[in-house]
Amino acid sequence: MARLDTKTIKKFNQTLTSNEVPSLQTCIDFLEMQAKNVGLTKEIKSNSAAAAPSKHRNGRDNKETSVIIPNRIAPAEARCLLDTGAQENFVTNELVVKLRLPRTNIKEGFVSAGGQGLPTLGKTTFRIQSTWDSSESFKIQAYILDTITSELPHQEINISTFDHLKNIELADMFYNKPAKIDILLGVTVVARIMRDRKARILHRGSPNAYYTDLGWIVMGSVIATGPRSVMAIYGSNPPLEHTMEKFWTIEELHTSNPHLTREEQNVLDHYEENTIRLPNGQYQVRLPFVENHRPLGDSKQMAMRRCIAVERRLMKDPELMKSYV
């Protein structure tokens, strides 16, 4: 370690989680990660993405980029989707668990397409930096979701005709291949990293390249070459008053029930014929009695004996008698 530069030694010390002397394998793993990041800096750089293959341009500008997230464990590479139509930032729960990012529990939720509710798993804060320039880093506050979107693009894009993109270092050199999205950056962050809109490479009929603080990104539509697929999305979120109306309709008591037995019908008739309202507002109903009921049996003598036994017990215990009064 003595042969390493001061900056690298400082980074290594920041990855340690205890005061114990690190093992040789720990040092080797750290150096391999640093070497990988240096290779990414020279080879990949930061950002680019084409929209999913389509014959029409989408109304929102979506583009993908690769970034590095520094943390106490080890820097990790993640793929971002830049979405100018999103008001907030989002990160997958898988990435949060992997990097052991701090989590704040919240009760907020979001509404997706179709008005469907989208619950969150909390909120977290982290920093991202470009894969080609470590001096460019941004602090991000993002809501945690199980899944942000499906793999983008939906199918591999043929870029053999994109000659205008071959001599620039893109943020994501593999923007044309489907891959999962780890982070979605909303309009606030996108506006910050795309300050210099004049630095761009335009090409009619092909995606255009724009320079950002994360590197060159690719944005635009392409012609779909593979089999066309149709995806139908339907979301239903009925208003609360409709739900309550349905509840009361289900719970409503139906007065005309064809399944009443003879005795049940007699009880209803008795209630209608013998119900009166008293002057104080209360209702008085004559109790119905079943005709030709079965006798209760010869239980009077047993009940009398128990009553006498209770009286004797109360006579012996005046305090207990008071509690009965």
Residue 218 has phi, psi (to 5 degrees) of: -115, 135
Taking a C-beta distance cutoff of 8 angstroms, is the pair 58, 160 a contact?
no
Rounded to whole angstroms, how far apart are CA atoms 265 and 273?
A: 12
Quote the pLDDT of residue 170: 82
DSSP letters of 166-226? TTS-BS-TTTTS-B---EEE-HHHHHHHT--TTSEE--TTS-EEEEETTEEEEES-----S
What is the torsional sign of CA 19, 74, 212, 147? negative
By three-state DSSP, how is residue 277 classified? strand
Residue 22 burial (10 A CB sphere; 0-12, 13-18, 19+): middle
Tokens 């945690």 — which residue?
144
Rounded to whole angstroms, how far apart are CA atoms 89 and 76?
A: 18
Dump pLDDT digits (tens) for 270-320. Answer: 888 889 989 998 989 888 777 777 777 777 888 899 999 999 999 999 888
Dump pLDDT digits (tens) for 153-198. Answer: 888 888 888 888 877 878 888 888 888 999 999 988 888 888 665 5
The torsion angle over the Cα atoms of residues 274, 275, 276 and 278, rounded to 10 degrees, is: 130
